[in-house]
Each structure stands twice: as structure tokens, then as C-alpha cells.
Amino acid sequence: MRTAPRNNRRRGTALAALLLSVMLAGAGCNGVGDADSGGDGAKGAAAAPQEEGGRAGNESAADSGLADGSGAKQKEPDGNPKLAQHIIRTANLRVRVESVPSALDKVRTAAADAGGIVGSETTDRDGKGNERSRIVLRVPQEQYGAVLQALEGTGKVLERSDKAEDVTEQVVDVDSRIKTQRASVERIRALMDKATKLSDVVTLESELSTRQADLESLLAQQASLKDRTSLATITLHLTESGAKPAPKDEDDPGFLDALSGGWNALVNVAKWIVIVLAAIAPWAAVLLILFLLWRLSGRRVPRRTPALALGGGGARPDPDAPDSPSTAPAPASPAPCPNQEPTGTNPPSSDSNPPPTGANPPSTDPQPPATGPKPPADPGA
């Protein structure tokens, strides 16, 4: 009866010790904590993860090999293993060609013959109407030089740049971290299978999720390095040469040339006339409207005729009557005869001119007799 509790205690102590050692170990740590002090059960639990870690390490070392065999270990004459170099090659090439479409056909053929692919392609025209293209090729490392020579033969090389980056240390480091991370994940899974407490299971699951995420990130880095070291990248820019100038015609101009020139001049003059009229049209419309408004306002204002100053009564003269001086003095009446008494009224005037129309009527009051001396009688009367 006492043996069972002791075994349970030993197993709990072993699980706690292993959990502590796993949590203290880093993602890239190569060492694993020893839990031998926890008893026989702890040793058995730690042995299985170590075996799984060894298998995972061997698998990761095999996966790190590239298509060209650069990841495999090679032996030197003295027997020591030597890792091949992992190099990322990139090139930029600018070529001037006579025809971009025909040059693109040659480029695609060269990439296909070398076992490569066309990563991307863009074609457009510049401001002068010349066609241009940008194409990205992915070719195997072994065919890198041959493809470059084929691309340079499509036209005149204007610019070339080549770059090689050695990433051997980075590849080895990633492979080692993947090996350690896989072993760590396997240990966490083994502990989860033997855990009996709910708190231990929750803690182990959280730790397993973290380790699994780190492992996936390392695997993505390994795949990217493998792709870039196995396939070289070539970026090619193709541009067309400018159009050749037309040969000059040294012959004298003929009738058709003169007719064509005259027609072109007529079209140009008509074009400029239309442009000038279009520019003047708004101003002409505004001036026409202002002129019409001025005419209408001038007709509506009435004309005023100044009144003539008349003697006595201030009556307006008749515009149809003939002009006559209104201020001329009346003619003197003739002297009365000696045997005739004055009638008290002045005889009518012998002036043939009628009195002005509209004048005051003659006064009916008797005229006073003349006080002056009477003139002598005319003997012939």
C-alpha cells in the first residue's frame, strides 16, 4: 500500500523537473536539462524525446540539401566533412533592341531551354511611343552564365550588374535551430501524454503552441533560402531604339508640292481665324447687349421744347404760324382832319400784316385825345 504513493510522488517530481527544464531551455538551445534525480520514471520519460529529437535532427539535415547538392556534406582528403557553399545570385541587365516583341520571344525561349521560369513581365511605351519591357527570370544556378550570354546577344547592352551573396552560415544556423525546435516539440508532446493534472496540461499546451509557431517560422526561412540559392534571379530591361530619320528629298519642289503647301497654309489660316473669332465672340456679345440697352434708354426719355417769352399774357406761340417779331412797335396812326372831330378811337392800322395769332384782343377803352398841337390842314385835301 505504501509503494503506490511513493511511485506517484516520484512521477510527479519527475514531471515537474522536466517541465521546468523545458521552460528554461531556449528555442535555439542545444542542451537539455537532466532529470535523473527524479527517479526511474523520469529517466524513461526523457529517453523517448531524445530519441525522437535525434531522428528529427537527421531529417532536418537531409532536408537542408538543395537541388544542386550544395547542402550535402562533402569529405575532404583528410576525412573531415565540408559543407558546400550556398550562394544567392542576382543580375540586372539593360539591353537596347530593334524590336521588343521579337526580343521577348528570344528571352522566353532561353529561359525555357535552361529549365527556368518567367517570374513577371511588364510592357508599356515611353513618351516617344517606343515600346519597352521589364521581365524577371528565375533560372537554375548551373545555367546562370549561359542565360546571361543569351540575353546579351539580343541587342546592345547598355547596363549590367551582377551580385553574389554567400548565405552558407545562415543556412546552417537555420537547419540547426529547426533540429533543436523539433526535438523540443516532441518532448512537450511526450510530457502532455504523461501529465495527470489539469494545470500541467494547460501549461504544456501553451508551451507547445509557442514552440510550434517558432518551428513553422524557421521552416519558412529554410524554404526561402532554398528557393533563392537554387534559382538565380535575372531582371532584364528591354528598350527600343529611336526611329531612324527619313532621308531628305533633295529634288526641287513640283506642282503637287506647291499645291500641298498652299492647302496646308489655307488650313492653318482658317484655323487661326476660327480661334480669333472664338476669342472675340464673348466680347462682341457683351458690347452688342450694351449698345441695345443704350438705344432703348434713349428712346424712352421725352424731348423738352423751351417756351418763348411773349409780351403780355405769356401765351405760347403757334408753331405753325409764320415767324414775326412780337416786340415790334405798332405804326403811328395818321393825324385827323381839321374838320373832323376825333372819334376817341384810333383808326385801324393800315399795315397789311395781320396781328400775330394768339395775341391779346384790342382794348375797348377809349383813347384819350391827343394833347399835342394839331397839324395844319392839307390845302389839297
C-alpha 197/C-alpha 217 separation (Å) is 31
C-alpha 263/C-alpha 275 separation (Å) is 18
Exposure of 188 by Cβ count < 10 A (0-12 exposed, 13-18 middle, 19+ buried)? buried
Per-residue pLDDT, 48: 38
Q: Where are the alpha helices (DSSP H) in the chain?
A: 3-24, 40-63, 100-113, 144-152, 168-194, 198-230, 255-300
Per-residue pLDDT, 3: 44
SS3 171: helix
- Please tell me the pTM assigned to this model: 0.43
Specify the pairing of strand 117-125 against strand 87-97.
unpaired
Whose CA is closest to 60, among 75, 71, 45?
A: 71
Instruction: Using CA atoms of 168, 169, 175, 179 in order, give the dihedral in degrees to the nearest 10.
Output: 150
Per-residue pLDDT, 127: 83
Per-residue pLDDT, 70: 43
Q: List, for residues 194-243, the tens digit of each pLDDT value.
A: 888 888 888 888 988 999 999 999 999 999 999 898 999 999 999 988 65
Please tell me what DSSP assigns to residue 312. Answer: S
The CATH class, in words, for 83-167+235-240 is alpha beta
SS3 32: coil
Sorted by where each begins, the domain ranges of the chain are 9-22+35-68+170-228, 83-167+235-240
Q: Hey, CA dihedral for 16, 21, 23, 24, is it positive or negative?
A: positive
Strand order in the sheet with 87-97: 117-125, 131-140, 231-240, 87-97, 156-166
Per-residue pLDDT, 130: 87
Q: Residues in the chain with pLDDT < 70?
A: 1-83, 242-252, 300-381
C-alpha 147/C-alpha 170 separation (Å) is 27
Non-local (6+) Cβ contacts of 114 within 8 A are 139, 140, 143, 146, 147
Per-residue pLDDT, 36: 38
